[in-house]
A and B are shown apart, each in its own frame.
Chain A
Amino acid sequence: MEQNFSEFQRRRADNIIWNCARDYSFAPDFKAYDSKGEVDIYWNIVFGAARRHYEYEKLERLFAMLDGYRDSAAYESIFWNALEPVLFRTELADRPVLERMRPESAGSELRFDETMTTDEIVETARRFFSERYGLRGDGKIRLRYRLRHPRRVSVDSFLQRGSAIVHDKDLYHGKESGWNSDHSFSTKMDEPTLRAFLETKFGKPIFPLERVVQLEKQLCTGNHKFTHLFYTDGEVAELSGVYNTFEMHQRKRQAELIANNRAYYQKHLLQNRQLIVRLSTNIMNSVLLHMQPAPVKANAGALDPALAWRGAALGDERVFRRIQNENAGDMSVDILLDASHSQVSRAEKISSQAYIISEALARCRVPCRVMSYCSMSGFTVLRLFNDYAARNNDSIFDYYAEGCNRDGLAIRAAGNLLGESSYEHKMLIVLSDVKPLDGAKIRRDERDVGRSYDGMRALQDTAHEVRRLRAEGIAVLCVFTGDDENLPAARMVYGQDFVRIRDFSYFADTVGKLIIDQMKNYAT
C-alpha cells in the first residue's frame, strides 16, 4: 500500500510527524494520507504527538502484537481513533489551530483518558482487543470469537474523509546490517602476498611498486603509519590467486552484485536518462550563467583608446574590445564513494547515481572522475573508475562495497591525486556515512600495540584531513548517508559543507546542486 503514495507525499508526512514529535531521529511508522493520496496534516500531527507524549517503544510492542493478525490495519485504526481525542486535548494548548482542523471524530468503543500512562494505555488496549475481538496476542483469535466475528473489519469504516493510515511495517525489520568484521583472509600474510591478493580481488595496480612505496612514505604517516595503499582502475587480473573456496564464493557473489548494478540501471533506464538530461541542462545553465567575461581584441565593438594608434599607424583594425564569455573557469569534480560494507545494501543505487552524475558532467564538458575507497588488512584500496575525460564511465557499475573505511587516509590519498591535476578549481565530493572504522590500528612505532581507528579518534583524523585539503584550496563537500545519531559527526568532520540525503534517488540531484553552488563561488 505504501507504494501508492508518492515519495514526495511520504516525505511530507515524515516531516510533519518529526516536527510535531520535536525529534528527527526516528523513521515514522504510521502515516496518514487522504483519498487523493495527499498527506493528511491533522492525523500526522496526531502520530507525531503520540511520539512526544508517550513512550513510543511500548506502543510499538502493541503494534507488533496486532501485526500478527490479518485485520491488523483495522485494529490499529481502532486504537488510533481511541487515542486521537486524548492527544487532541493534550496538544491543543500548544496548537490552538487543531480546534479548527479536527475532523469529526469517528468515535471508538475503546476509550482512554489524559491521565493514563503509556503502560495503562497499552494494558487497556490489550484488554479491549482481547474481550471485544478475542485476540490472544499470539496471532490467534479465540474460537468463540471467530464464530461470531461479524465480518472482516474494514479499515475505511473507522476513518474520516476516506483517509488512510499507512503502517510502514518494514521499519520493524528494516534494520541495516552493520559492518561485518568477518574477514576472509588472515592478516598474517606478508605485504607482497597481500598485494597479490588485492590484485586478484580489486584489479591490477595502476602505479608501479616504486611509486606506491614513494606515495606511502609521503601519505601513510602519523595516524596511518604502518598502513598501505593500493591504487587500481579495476582492470581484471587473472583469477589465479583465488585462495580458497570461501574466496571463490565471495568472488561469485561480487560478480552477481555487479551484474545487479547494471540491471538496476537498465530497469530504470527511462528515468535515468531523463535525470541525466535534466541534470546536465541545470549544470549547463549554470555554466553559461557564470562564464567568465573576458575582453578580447576585435575589429568591432567598443573602441579601446590605448589601441587606437595602431589603426592609424599600423593599419591594424583590431583596435576594439569585445567581451567574450569563456568557459566557467577551469574546474574539475572528483567523487569519492565510500565502498565499505555499510554501503552494501544500496550499492546498485550508488553506482547508478554516480554514473548519472559523471555522464551529466561529461555532457557539460566538466571533467569528472569517480573513485571509491575501502580498507582491508591494513591496505586502503583506492579504485579509480574513470578519468577526467569520461573514458570508461561504464565501469562505475563495477562499484562493489566491502571491508572497512579508513576515511582519513582515503581522503588524504584522493587529495594527493587531485594535487597532481592542473585544474584551477578542484572539488572533492565524498559520499559517506561518516563512520570511519578500520582494523589496522594507529601505531606510533613498531612496538606500539596501538589504538583502534574508530570513534572520536578516527573522526578527528578525518576532520583534520578535510581541513588540510581545504587549506590547499580544494573544496571538500560531503553527501551524508548516515542516520540522525551520526549527524553531529558529519558536522564535526565537514562543517557546514555537507548535505544529507535520506533517499538515494536524490543523490545525483543533490550533487548537481552542490556543483552548481560551488560554481557560483568560482565563476566570480
Chain B
Amino acid sequence: MLDFLRQEGIEEALIERIKEYRESWPVAEGDELRIPTPRFKYFGAEIWKLAITAILSGENILLVGPKATGKNVFAENLSAVFGRPEWDISFYLNTDAASLIGTDTFKNGEVSFRKGPIFACAEAGGFGVLDEINMAKNESLAVLHATLDFRRIIDVPGYSRIRLAPPTRFIATMNYGYAGTRELNEALASRFMVINMPVISGENLEKLLAEQYPSLKAEYAAQLTALFGEIRRKCESSEISTKALDLRGLLAAVNLVDKGLNMRDAISIAIINKSFDEFERTLVEDIVASRIDGKLTKEEIFLAQRA
C-alpha cells in the first residue's frame, strides 16, 4: 500500500511518518484480521495528503461527497495504509446509543455489558468507519461527542469510563442531500476535519479500470469512462436521478462480461436497471446505446490471453 502512495506522488516525509505510526502502535493479536486489504484503490493524491495529515495530527475525519466519489473505498484504504483494525458501523435511522456503545445482556445468569462497535474499536485502537453518519438522528449521536473531541473518552453509565487507545480514529462518511439524510448538527460536525470528496476524474476512472481489469482494452476503458461522464452530466442537468450513476455497477459490469455475459446484459443489470422508473431507464439505455455495442463479448473487450 505504501508503494501505491509513492506512485500517487505522496511525499516521502509523510510516508515516513505513517511508518512511524504503524511501528509505535502494534496491532493486538486477533485484531489483524480486521485490517482490511482493499479490493479497490483510491486515486487522488490531494485527498490522500489531506486525510493522512489529519489522521497523523490526531483528528477524526468526515468524508463528504455525492454518490460514486469513493468515500467508503477511501476509508478502507486509510485503515489499510495505517495498518489499523477497522470497525464498520453503518448508521441508520434507529441507531441509538446502545447500538453504538454497548448494551446490557444476560450472561451466566447475570446482567452484563456487551460491547458495541465504538467501544470495541476504542479499546483496540482501531479505525471506526461511521458510514452515512447523517442517516441517524442527531440526538442519538450526542453520546459520541465526548468520544470524538479532545476528551477522547467513553463513559458507560453504571459500568466504566474508558479512554480511547491513542491510535483510535473515526472516519465518518456522508452523502449530503441523499434521500433520507438529515442535516448534521454543528456540535457533531465540529468534531471532524471535513474533506470534500471530489467526483472521480476521467483520468482516475481509467486508471481504476486498468488497475481492476488489467486486460481490459484501453479503448473500452475509455468508452466506459466516457459513458460514466455522460450519465453524470445527465444527472447534473436534472434529467435523471442519480440512481444510474453507479461506479460499483460500472466496475461490476466489466466483471460480468469477463464471466461471460454480453455487454448489453451486463450493463442492463449493473447500471440501467438501477433506475426503477421506466422513463428514466429508457434515457439511460439511450446513452448506453449511443456509446457501447451491446453485442460485445469477453473476447472483444479483453486482450487475448491473460497470463
| Given contact pairs A22-B233, A24-B239, A45-B290, A11 touches B279 in the complex (Cβ within 8 A) | yes
Of the candidates B93, B226, B295, the one whose C-beta lies within 8 Å of that of A94 is B226
Chain A residue nearest to B295 in the complex (CB): A100
Contact segment of A232-240, A307-315, A492-500? A492-500
Chain B residue nearest to A518 in the complex (CB): B179
| Given contact pairs A96-B223, A495-B177, A12 touches B283 in the complex (Cβ within 8 A) | yes
What is the 8 Å Cβ interface bit string for chain B, positions 229-259, against chain A (1 contact, 0 not)? 0100110011100000000000000000000
Across the interface, which residues of A come within 8 angstroms of B176, CB to CB? 496
Residue pair A500, B238 in contact (C-beta under 8 Å): yes
Residue pair A41, B177 in contact (C-beta under 8 Å): no
Residue pair B179, A520 in contact (C-beta under 8 Å): yes
Cα–Cα distance between A8 and B278 once the two chains are bound (Å): 10
Residue pair B291, A487 in contact (C-beta under 8 Å): no
Chain A residue nearest to B287 in the complex (CB): A19
Cα–Cα distance between A496 and B236 once the two chains are bound (Å): 11
Across the interface, which residues of B come within 8 angstroms of A18, CB to CB? 234, 237, 239
Cα–Cα distance between A94 and B290 once the two chains are bound (Å): 11
Dominant secondary structure of chain B at its interface with chain A? loop
Cα–Cα distance between A427 and B289 once the two chains are bound (Å): 40
Cα–Cα distance between A11 and B286 once the two chains are bound (Å): 11
Among B176, B289, B290, the one with the most A-chain Cβ atoms within 10 Å of its Cβ is B290
How many whole Å from B196's CB to the nearest CB in chain A? Answer: 15
Cα–Cα distance between A524 and B291 once the two chains are bound (Å): 42
Across the interface, which residues of A come within 8 angstroms of B191, CB to CB? none
Of the candidates B183, B223, B282, B290, the one whose C-beta lies within 8 Å of that of A19 is B290
| Given contact pairs A97-B293, A496-B176, A517-B179, A12 touches B286 in the complex (Cβ within 8 A) | yes
Chain A residue nearest to B296 in the complex (CB): A97
Chain A residue nearest to B177 in the complex (CB): A496
Residue pair B180, A41 in contact (C-beta under 8 Å): no
What is the 8 Å Cβ interface bit string for chain A, positions 513-524, against chain B (1 contact, 0 not)? 000010011001
What is the 8 Å Cβ interface bit string for chain B, positions 272-293, against chain A (1 contact, 0 not)? 0000000100110011011111
How many whole Å from B239's CB to the nearest CB in chain A? Answer: 6
Across the interface, which residues of B come within 8 angstroms of A480, CB to CB? 238
Of residues 96 through 120 on chain A, the ones whose CB sits less than 8 Å from some CB of chain B are: 96-97, 100-101
How many whole Å from B35's CB to the nearest CB in chain A? Answer: 35
Q: Is A39 an interface residue (CB 8 A)?
A: yes
Residue pair A96, B219 in contact (C-beta under 8 Å): yes
Residue pair B238, A499 in contact (C-beta under 8 Å): yes
Of residues 1 through 21 on chain A, the ones whose CB sits less than 8 Å from some CB of chain B are: 8, 11-12, 15-16, 18-20
Cα–Cα distance between A220 and B282 once the two chains are bound (Å): 48
Cα–Cα distance between A97 and B180 once the two chains are bound (Å): 39
Cα–Cα distance between A204 and B290 once the two chains are bound (Å): 58
Residue pair B290, A15 in contact (C-beta under 8 Å): no
Of the candidates B94, B180, B239, B279, the one whose C-beta lies within 8 Å of that of A8 is B279
Residue pair A41, B238 in contact (C-beta under 8 Å): no
Residue pair B290, A524 in contact (C-beta under 8 Å): no
Cα–Cα distance between A125 and B239 once the two chains are bound (Å): 35
Cα–Cα distance between A96 and B293 once the two chains are bound (Å): 9
Q: Is A95 an interface residue (CB 8 A)?
A: yes
Residue pair A19, B233 in contact (C-beta under 8 Å): yes
Cα–Cα distance between A329 and B182 once the two chains are bound (Å): 17
The count of chain B contact residues (Cβ–Cβ below 8 Å) is: 28
Of the candidates A39, A500, A524, the one whose C-beta lies within 8 Å of that of B286 is A39
How many whole Å from A27's CB to the nearest CB in chain B? Answer: 13
Chain A residue nearest to B220 in the complex (CB): A96
Across the interface, which residues of B come within 8 angstroms of A500, CB to CB? 238
Of the candidates B93, B179, B286, B293, the one whose C-beta lies within 8 Å of that of A16 is B286
Cα–Cα distance between A380 and B287 once the two chains are bound (Å): 45
Cα–Cα distance between A41 and B238 once the two chains are bound (Å): 21
Cα–Cα distance between A497 and B292 once the two chains are bound (Å): 33
Across the interface, which residues of A come within 8 angstroms of B287, CB to CB? 15-16, 19
Across the interface, which residues of A come within 8 angstroms of B282, CB to CB? 8, 12
Cα–Cα distance between A408 and B191 once the two chains are bound (Å): 33
Cα–Cα distance between A39 and B290 once the two chains are bound (Å): 12
Residue pair A484, B237 in contact (C-beta under 8 Å): yes
Chain A residue nearest to B282 in the complex (CB): A12
Cα–Cα distance between A8 and B291 once the two chains are bound (Å): 21
Residue pair A41, B289 in contact (C-beta under 8 Å): yes
Across the interface, which residues of A come within 8 angstroms of B293, CB to CB? 96-97, 100
Cα–Cα distance between A192 and B176 once the two chains are bound (Å): 48
Cα–Cα distance between A100 and B180 once the two chains are bound (Å): 43
Cα–Cα distance between A403 and B213 once the two chains are bound (Å): 60
How many whole Å from B38's CB to the nearest CB in chain A? Answer: 30
Cα–Cα distance between A472 and B98 once the two chains are bound (Å): 29
Residue pair B290, A41 in contact (C-beta under 8 Å): yes
What is the 8 Å Cβ interface bit string for chain A, positions 472-485, against chain B (1 contact, 0 not)? 00000000100010
Cα–Cα distance between A306 and B295 once the two chains are bound (Å): 66
Of residues 453 through 504 on chain A, the ones whose CB sits less than 8 Å from some CB of chain B are: 470, 480, 484, 487, 495-497, 499-500
Cα–Cα distance between A487 and B238 once the two chains are bound (Å): 9
Across the interface, which residues of B come within 8 angstroms of A45, CB to CB? 290
| Given contact pairs A12-B283, A16-B286, A19-B230, A97 touches B237 in the complex (Cβ within 8 A) | no
Across the interface, which residues of A come within 8 angstroms of B183, CB to CB? 470
Cα–Cα distance between A83 and B256 once the two chains are bound (Å): 38
How many whole Å from B139's CB to the nearest CB in chain A? Answer: 13
| Given contact pairs A19-B287, A22-B233, A495-B177, A97 touches B238 in the complex (Cβ within 8 A) | no
Across the interface, which residues of B come within 8 angstroms of A517, CB to CB? 179
Across the interface, which residues of B come within 8 angstroms of A20, CB to CB? 290
How many whole Å from A496's CB to the nearest CB in chain B? Answer: 3
Among B182, B183, B239, B279, the one with the most A-chain Cβ atoms within 10 Å of its Cβ is B239
How many whole Å from B281's CB to the nearest CB in chain A? Answer: 11
Question: Can you report 8 A-B residue pairs in the complex whose CB atoms are below 8 A from each other?
Answer: A15-B286, A19-B233, A19-B287, A96-B219, A97-B292, A517-B179, A520-B180, A521-B180
User: Knowing that A97-B292, A101-B289, A484-B237 are A-B contacts, what are 15 other residue pairs whose CB atoms are under 8 Å apart, sorted by A's residue number?
Assistant: A15-B239, A19-B286, A20-B290, A24-B234, A41-B289, A96-B219, A96-B293, A97-B289, A97-B290, A100-B293, A496-B176, A497-B177, A499-B238, A520-B180, A524-B93
| Leading 3 A-B pairs by shortest Cβ distance | A496-B177, A24-B237, A500-B238
